[in-house]
Chains A and B, each alone.
Chain A
Amino acid sequence: MTEKNSYILKGGRVVDPARGIDTVMDIGVSNGKIVDPAKIKNPEVIKVKKLVVAPGFTDMHVHLRQPGNTTAETIATGTMAAAAGGFAGIVAMPNTSPPADSAGTIEYIRRHTELYAVVRVYPTGCMTKELKGEEMAGIGSLKNAGVVAVSDDGKCIQNHELMRHVVEYSKSFGLPILDHCEDAFLKGEGVMHEGKWSTLLGMRGISSASEELMIARDIILSRMIGWKIHIQHVSAKESVELIRNARKRGIMISAEATPHHISLTDDYIKKFDTNYKMNPPLRSEQDRLAVIEGLRDGTITVIATDHAPHTATDKLVEFDYAPFGIIGLETAIPVCLTELYHEKILSLSDFVSKFTVGPAAILGMDFGTLEEGKPADITIIDTEKKFCVDASKFRSKSRNTPFNGMEFRGKAAATIVAGRFVFDEIGK
């Protein structure tokens, strides 16, 4: 890693959607902040010609597994993977072991983040104690401990009255809700999308209805209470439509899509490879196209990975018994550039916004721009570089990717956090 205090990123294409900038210009960095390049004395010049210089990307949906399951991932390896994938910040989900349902766990995460993390880690707290969906967690104390949002990710509060109280209570502390929408009965023992392939393969399906139903519930509560509910990993066609209509009516609903739901479909399951097992599941081609359309028309404002590390031992089992989840930090930019930018679905500026202003707006934070005076969190991208995924080279401690061996176009070239290069492949 390069240790530089003051430097100029010279000749790059600066894409900063927060300020509507997409032009070739220089960016100055000094003492960890963005500065006017003309004001730096004797700067080091870093040539970034033909590269895209964007505000530091933030992944709104990451499982770091620490505390609890450090054989799958740690704060150190997870943030190294984030850096290598072009992310300057990540939002850490609270379903650790123990779950982040108290200030003590948040304090543990904060301390370990200071010691080991190479990118910014924004912790979240649970909505309910032990993620059980039964009693509200100490949301006020969590806020004081530093969480940026609350979520029961991996689970979904089934009791609508409790959910209503959680939303109302979180509103009073200004904490947005990040909800994993899933009706537990409709999901049942499902292991993949319910549709043609689950029928042909004889596997238990997870119907799109299980997602749609809870999204509809959240829309109703959001409208009623007037507070922000962010729908995590939208996967089904009709879910996108529900969110689109809600947003048109001014309801405070936002949504994220994952790289895998925009690039893969349920027919991959026929190989019985557990690296294609995640929740929500890979759905049909129609669903995939609808999610992409949601990104294109602005219904979905965030791309997040749902980076969910699992050890090879945990994944090398019968499909039914394997845990849900795949990792995504080191493949997100290549996959999304290929599927969205090179396929001409999104402009580069819109693409960048899904990782910058999108998350910032939902969390109510002021990251995600290259404005002078802001912390120098920068993601530098080579949009043309061929990238063949080799999971054995990942920084993540886990290897559970569905993209191994696939080739993509475009990749992060460098990641800068507070002026410091935490990942640097410029010129390599």
Chain B
Amino acid sequence: MEVNWTRKDLLSLYDLDPEEIVLILDTAEEFKKVSERNLKKVPALRGKTVVNFFVEPSTRTRVSFELAEQRLSADIINMTASSSSLQKGETLLDTARNIEALQADLIVMRHSCAGAQNFIAKNISSGVINAGDGAHGHPTQALLDLFTIRQKKGRIAGLNVSIVGDILHSRVARSDIWGLIKLGANVTIAGPSTLVPRDFEQIGVRVCHNLKDAMEGADVINLLRIQHERQRAGFFPSTNEYARFFGLNKENARYLNPDAMIMHPGPINRDVELDSALADGPQSVILEQVTNGLAVRMAVLFLVSGCLKK
């Protein structure tokens, strides 16, 4: 059964049907080939204007989106919170309406508040792609994770995927969980109980509070970056103690299946959540995630741009 893409926005994976997620991944397969050619550019978004509106700073995601847009031949404008009028007290909606009034076709947006993109998408006609909103969602990161898993394992349904770390504050974890569940994976989340809410059990996620349980039988282990500011807020006593109980290292790696994939959304705290040698080892797909991110973002930009009202 063929599905058509009908959305002007990509806000969260929670909104998508499994078929829509698969369509994005299939489309990304073709865009991945574009990046493997000598001439790495297609004219699909020629004449379209894309505004990268990053109210919360980002380097990796913004660069990945920007390159994806360039490879699709879009015209690109980069705006940050400091380069916009938000600093002068303009509301977010007014700023977005100004971008819309310049006939921007698409807004790729990052914001520190959950739902900020939903709020903007509802109020303007330009397409909105969520490049991360607070701890709510980061759909293109989850899509690139799904793409990488499918590429390596040939499937997603039935796989055991463990996500370890600060689930509570992680938009990547939330989007991954929705994407994985929708495509039929068994999801485990693990970390200290202050950072891994039990409420996820209500949507069929296995919750555990020790690393060994999350490692045994896992086909994929995804380690999240631990933020130092959480220590100050009293969620765990020290990065040392965190690394000791929840960091993946050479010693506890023996609990992993030999063919288990090691993933990380970056940037890595080497030797905190992930041992340096493992990050660079044969099980690690961390750099492939970055490469695939480009293809997935090209696919999303292409699909969403095809649904904008004239």
List chain A positions with a Cβ less than 8 A from chain B: 195-196, 199-203, 271-272, 313, 316-321
Contacts and interface: CB of A to CB of B under 8 A. Distances in A.
Given A195-B199, A199-B197, A319 B119 contact: yes
Contacts of B168: 199
15 contacts: A195-B199, A196-B199, A199-B168, A200-B200, A201-B136, A202-B169, A202-B171, A203-B134, A316-B91, A316-B123, A317-B91, A317-B93, A318-B92, A318-B115, A320-B114
A370 to B, nearest CB: 48
Interface of B: 14, 91-93, 111-116, 118-119, 123, 134-137, 168-171, 174, 197, 199-200, 202-203
A232 to B, nearest CB: 28
Contacts of B91: 313, 316-317
A62 to B, nearest CB: 28
B119 A272 contact: yes
Given A272-B118, A317-B93, A199 B200 contact: yes
Contact of A321 (B113, B169, B174, B199): B113
Contacts of B115: 201, 203, 272, 318-319
B134 A199 contact: no
A298 B137 CA distance: 43
A202 B166 CA distance: 12
A29 B122 CA distance: 52
Contacts of A201: 114-115, 136
Contact of B134 (A195, A202, A271, A313): A202
Contacts of B200: 199-200
B175 to A, nearest CB: 10
B89 to A, nearest CB: 12
Contacts of A202: 114, 134-137, 169-171, 174
Nearest to A320: B113
Contact of A317 (B14, B92, B197, B202): B92
User: Is the contact region of chain A dominated by helix, strand, or loop, or is it mixed?
Assistant: helix
Given A202-B135, A313-B91, A319 B202 contact: no
A78 to B, nearest CB: 26
A203 B119 CA distance: 15
Contacts of A318: 92, 111, 113, 115-116, 119
Contacts of A321: 113
Residue with the greatest number of chain B CB neighbours at <10 A, chosen from A195, A196, A199, A320? A199
Residue with the greatest number of chain B CB neighbours at <10 A, chosen from A195, A272, A313? A272
A319 B133 CA distance: 11
Contacts of B136: 201-203
A313 to B, nearest CB: 7
Contacts of A195: 199
A316 B122 CA distance: 11
Residue with the greatest number of chain B CB neighbours at <10 A, chosen from A200, A202, A272? A202
A319 B116 CA distance: 7
Contacts of B174: 200, 202
A123 B92 CA distance: 37
Contacts of B199: 195-196, 199-200
Contacts of B116: 318-319
Nearest to B196: A199
Nearest to B117: A272
B110 to A, nearest CB: 13
Given A200-B174, A317-B119, 13 more contacts: A200-B200, A202-B135, A202-B174, A203-B114, A272-B118, A316-B91, A317-B92, A318-B113, A318-B115, A318-B116, A318-B119, A319-B114, A320-B113
Contacts of B203: 200
Contacts of A203: 114-115, 134-136
Nearest to B116: A318
A321 B115 CA distance: 11
Contacts of B111: 318
8 nearest interchain CB pairs?
A: A202-B135, A272-B115, A199-B199, A318-B113, A202-B136, A320-B113, A199-B197, A196-B199
Residue with the greatest number of chain A CB neighbours at <10 A, chosen from B114, B123, B170, B197? B114
B135 A319 contact: no
B113 to A, nearest CB: 4
B230 to A, nearest CB: 13
Nearest to A199: B199
B202 A196 contact: yes
A271 B116 CA distance: 11
A44 B132 CA distance: 67
Contacts of A317: 91-93, 119
A317 B93 CA distance: 7
B81 to A, nearest CB: 12
A320 B113 CA distance: 6
A201 B93 CA distance: 21
Contacts of A320: 112-114, 134
Nearest to B119: A272
B93 A319 contact: no
A196 B197 CA distance: 9
B223 to A, nearest CB: 19
Contacts of B14: 200
A426 to B, nearest CB: 40
B118 to A, nearest CB: 5
Contacts of A199: 168, 197, 199-200
A319 B197 contact: no
Contact of B114 (A196, A271, A272, A316): A272
Contacts of A313: 91
A201 B118 CA distance: 12
Residue with the greatest number of chain B CB neighbours at <10 A, chosen from A201, A203, A271? A201
Nearest to A319: B115
A9 to B, nearest CB: 47
Contacts of A316: 91, 93, 123
Contacts of B123: 316
